[in-house]
Structure 1
Amino acid sequence: MYVPGKQLVTADALSRAPSGPEKSTENETLEDECRVFVDLIVQQIPATKTKLKQIQEMQNEDLTCQQLRQYTQKGWPDHQKTVSEHLVPYWSHRADIHVANGILLKGERILIPKPMQREMLERLHQGHQGMTKCIARAQQSIWWPGVIRDVRELVERCDICCQHSQQKTEQLMPTPLPVRPWQRVAADIFQWEGGHYLVVVDYFSRYIEVANLPKLITATTVERLKVIFARFGIPETLVTDNGPQFASCEFAEFSRDYDFKHVTSSPRYPQSNGEAERAVRTVKQMLRKNQDPQRALLAYRSTPLAHGISPAELLMGRRIRSTVPVPPKSLTPRWPDLKVFRRKDRMLKEKQQETFRSRHRAKNLPVIIPGQKVWIRTSKTTGTVRGEAATPRSYQVETEMGTLRRNRAHLTVLPEPTQQEVNVTVTRSALPLQQ
């Protein structure tokens, strides 16, 4: 039964059937969708319209970009050998290179022409962020063959980043065991509860002597050392830091008078006087835990160390009597087996070295060649290395303040300027000054 259309509450299927075929074809629809997608990519590129226009103009002027644009329109050659030499780096990426709104892209990243690459690198490194973040910024927006390599080189050669980079931990350098007791000793001064004390430790036996310093002057330090030397003999070598009590002319005269070699550790690097530093920690722990420091020293000197022999036995060839009962026969002078002691000492040091290396991922820093520019971390100045110093891992560095001795851990090698950077500096210096 016929019902007028205006009276139909719900239209049937035939009354709403299309009158003819769609005007747009599937190909045209696909092209429209691709065009919308490409426009969306360009809109999402993190760059202003002015900068995009500048990049487009540079691409139009660049010969490489002109040829790439032609290949994207007409198709790439069938074989790489037929491609110009300067386009070979783009060959493996040819499927991703296309033009959108007049701009050459590689995927969703802008293809930067050669003349603008240096500027883009400097923009990527604004804020002096680390290498990982700079690479992430590049992967987000721009591309050219070798962009990741260029970013790495830029960050590695940045003076400011080198100056503020974290220095790697070097491997532990074990202290060589002397030939005999009291041949090489170390000394240091520490403060405890308002007083100052002198600590002297033997490299061979780890035997520790402690003396009070009523006055923190060279004369008092020398007097205390004379008392200790009178008790155990004069060592061949005395190792100290560069404190004023040890760096004075008076102390130098004392070393000549008593005929021993005075060696100072690297300035501002207490680890290089490690034996004395460990002895100071041991003594402070004694003072912190014991009311009678002399009894604590007695206990330390008579207690076997990790290799099974006490410091007193190694220094004097006998056990010393303490409050712990021992058979009288064991107090008879008798030297321990030094061959066994040396073997155990070497094994312990090798184990410590391996533990330190694995725990801190320690790795020796590269040797600095004389003439290289360095950044001195302790004084925040630059200098030129003149050569290695007498102490291990130390260098003589020439600065505006004079020649300094610094440990390798305090020195960061600054990159040499490239020829391109030199040319830029010369060009800028040749420009007339603005009035």
Structure 2
Amino acid sequence: MRSLLKKNTAYLWSPEIDAEFNHARKILSSPLLVQPFDPSLETHLLTDPAKKHGLGYGLIQYDTPRVYKNIWDELSLIDDGNEGYLLTWGDRIVIPHRARNEILSRLHFSHQGLTKTSLAAKSSYYWPGMNNDLKTLIASCTACQKYQASQFSEPLQSYTLDQTFPTQLMAADLFDFTGINFLAIVDAYSGLAKSAVKNAKMLLRKCKESDTDFSAALHEFRCLPRPNSLSPNQLFFGRQPRGLLPTLVPQDVPLDPTLLQNRNLAKIKNNQQTDESARLLTPLLPGTAVLVQHPVSKIWGQTSIVLHPLDNGRSYESECSISGKRFRRNHKFIRKFIADDALTHDLNIPGSISSLPVPHTSPPPLLVRRSSRISQQTKK
């Protein structure tokens, strides 16, 4: 029919052109159905707005797998015998949506971390978003959350470097020893605020063992210089008080300013070395479900709800979800709890490999690799 529109061509309505015209008219006037209509897909209506009465319209639904666009030319179909066709990408099996939960469960059967599980998955399987599904699965595993490692310490708050004179900032903490309550008050300028309770308990324990007076031992402890620094008494009084040890150097000599400068430089270097392995933790919002680490067993077993952060920004007050008891913990010892329903583990889906039994006492059987299958000519 297009030949009739060419120049220098006689307009002859031949039987062949008449047959083509009738065939085109039949197609345009008949209900054309390429595939069943799916109401859940996006639909485009194609019409000719220039004509009031048209022959019809077109309903176009785009259902192409765009997530496979980058590897579309590398996908292959392998006849798997009685089970139908198997979609592959190289040596990796492309897992359909209904079978992914089962594959995820088997990949995490040994409860390993994300690195090992991802390597095992990438060597045999592929589906869009596989890494995110693995990350969600491992993060929501109850057993893995309970026995996971301790969190990293956060970067130090170098408030001690801001102190320019004694008693500018005081630190206090409560502790008990042999059933007796003690209050430890420490000058932050001395640099011993963090280890005050530990040093006090150790000194009390040793004095009790050796039957030594604790007050005298505490005085001698304050006279001992710290590594690359001065003694707590020198920092507090500006001189070294007399102790049990006889010395030739006068005790009332003013401190050399160079010593204080070296002390601050050593403190800065120590903080930098400590912060190399530290990481900032994501702040927790009120109402967040968290796991609390046991101080002795290091198990993340107790669940609680965050009430509000404390003034220092590093600690939170939370409430136990079972007993209702409130307590305060540093962010290092609480972490966000991820429920195990983050992924729907529907293991009884008919028509998929989910119907295969999963043993609980021994590792699951390995899937047959491509090299051991009865391979036929691939189709693209």
Match of 1:348 in 2: 266
- CA distance in 2 between partners of 1:204 and 1:106 (Å): 63
* Bigger relative CO (Cα 8 Å, ≥ 6 apart): 2
Asked if 2 retains the 8 angstrom alpha-carbon contact of 1:199 and 1:276, the reply is no
Matched AA of 1:370: P
* 1:290-338 residue CA offsets vs partner (Å, 9 max, x unmatched): 98977765554334334543322332343223433224xx333x6546x
How many residue pairs get aligned? The number is: 271
Bigger helix share: 1
- C-alpha displacement of 1:109: 3.4
CA separation of 1:169/1:129 partners in 2, compared to 1, >3 Å: closer, same or farther? Answer: same
CA separation of 1:136/1:420 partners in 2, compared to 1, >3 Å: closer, same or farther? Answer: closer
Question: What is the correspondence of 1:106-121 to structure 2 with a 5 Å cutoff?
Answer: 106-121=89-104
Select the residue among 98, 121, 128 that pairs with 1:145. 128
Tell me the TM-score normalised to structure 1 length: 0.50
CA separation of 1:294/1:404 partners in 2, compared to 1, >3 Å: closer, same or farther? Answer: closer
- CA distance in 2 between partners of 1:416 and 1:187 (Å): 36
Tell me the TM-score normalised to structure 2 length: 0.56
3-state secondary structure, aligned to 2:239: coil
- C-alpha displacement of 1:165: 1.7
3-state secondary structure, aligned to 2:280: coil
CA separation of 1:197/1:319 partners in 2, compared to 1, >3 Å: closer, same or farther? Answer: farther
**Identity of paired residues, percent?**
22
The Cα RMSD (Å) is: 4.2
3-state secondary structure, aligned to 1:371: coil
CA separation of 1:312/1:146 partners in 2, compared to 1, >3 Å: closer, same or farther? Answer: closer
Asked if 2 retains the 8 angstrom alpha-carbon contact of 1:201 and 1:279, the reply is no
- CA distance in 1 between partners of 2:233 and 2:151 (Å): 38
- CA distance in 1 between partners of 2:215 and 2:191 (Å): 14
- CA distance in 1 between partners of 2:67 and 2:292 (Å): 44
- CA distance in 2 between partners of 1:340 and 1:152 (Å): 53
User: Are 1:384 and 2:305 matched, yes or no?
Assistant: yes
Asked if 1 retains the 8 angstrom alpha-carbon contact of 2:101 and 2:344, the reply is no
User: Are 1:363 and 2:279 matched, yes or no?
Assistant: yes
Select the residue among 85, 104, 108 that pairs with 1:103. 85
* 1:374-399 residue CA offsets vs partner (Å, 9 max, x unmatched): 11222722222121024551111122
Question: What is the correspondence of 1:123-272 to structure 2 with a 5 Å cutoff?
Answer: 123-174=106-157, 176-177=159-160, 178=163, 180-182=165-167, 184-186=170-172, 200=184, 202-204=186-188, 206=190
* 1:50-74 residue CA offsets vs partner (Å, 9 max, x unmatched): xxxxxxxxxxxxx9xxxxxxxxxxx
- CA distance in 1 between partners of 2:173 and 2:307 (Å): 29
- C-alpha displacement of 1:131: 1.8
Matched AA of 1:100: D
Asked if 1 retains the 8 angstrom alpha-carbon contact of 2:203 and 2:214, the reply is no
- CA distance in 1 between partners of 2:156 and 2:78 (Å): 59
Select the residue among 361, 369, 375 that pairs with 2:291. 375
- CA distance in 2 between partners of 1:187 and 1:387 (Å): 21
> Which residues of structure 1 form unaligned runs of 5+?
1-62, 64-82, 209-238, 240-272, 425-435
- CA distance in 1 between partners of 2:141 and 2:149 (Å): 14
Match of 1:301 in 2: 222
User: Are 1:413 and 2:336 matched, yes or no?
Assistant: yes
Question: What is the correspondence of 1:78-89 to structure 2 with a 5 Å cutoff?
Answer: 85-89=64-68
Match of 1:325 in 2: 247
- CA distance in 2 between partners of 1:292 and 1:139 (Å): 66
CA separation of 1:164/1:190 partners in 2, compared to 1, >3 Å: closer, same or farther? Answer: same
Select the residue among 306, 313, 323 that pairs with 2:234. 313
Match of 1:277 in 2: 198
